[in-house]
């Protein structure tokens, strides 16, 4: 099996699942949508309150956006990140 060449110049995409404090989902959504790199975000049903598609230059940049920006929004309790592989 041939290995694919990985293009390191491509941005990193990830889905960030967000749990919020009760009653804060819509306010958190508004704030998350304003964060640089957030391509799309929606309130959802299920065990998470919000899902956001985040684009970053690399994994370090992604980590900084999530920890510093997303988790810094008032009302965010927890995040779970799923990095897009293809």
pLDDT in tens, 51-72: 999 999 999 999 999 999 999 9
The whole-angstrom separation of Cα 83 and Cα 31 is 22
The mean per-residue pLDDT over the stretch 10-15 comes to: 94
Please state which of the four CATH numbers 3.20.20.80, 3.40.250.10, 3.30.70.920, 1.10.20.10 is assigned to the domain occupying 12-48+65-83.
3.30.70.920
Q: Which pLDDT score is estimated for 10? A: 82
Mean pLDDT of the chain: 93
**pLDDT over threshold 50, residue 5:** no
Strands 76-83 and 12-20: antiparallel
31-48 residue pLDDT tens: 999 999 999 999 999 999
Determine phi and psi for 55, rounding to 5 degrees. -115, 135
Does the pTM surpass 0.85? The reply is: yes
């Amino acid at each position: 099996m041939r290995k694919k060449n990985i293009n390191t110049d491509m941005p990193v995409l990830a889905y960030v699942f967000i749990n919020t404090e009760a009653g804060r989902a819509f306010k958190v959504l508004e704030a998350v949508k304003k964060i640089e790199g957030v391509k799309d975000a929606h309130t959802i049903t299920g065990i998470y309150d919000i899902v956001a598609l985040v684009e970053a230059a690399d994994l370090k940049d992604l980590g900084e956006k999530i920890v510093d920006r997303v988790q810094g929004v008032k009302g965010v309790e927890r995040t779970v990140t799923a990095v897009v592989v293809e």
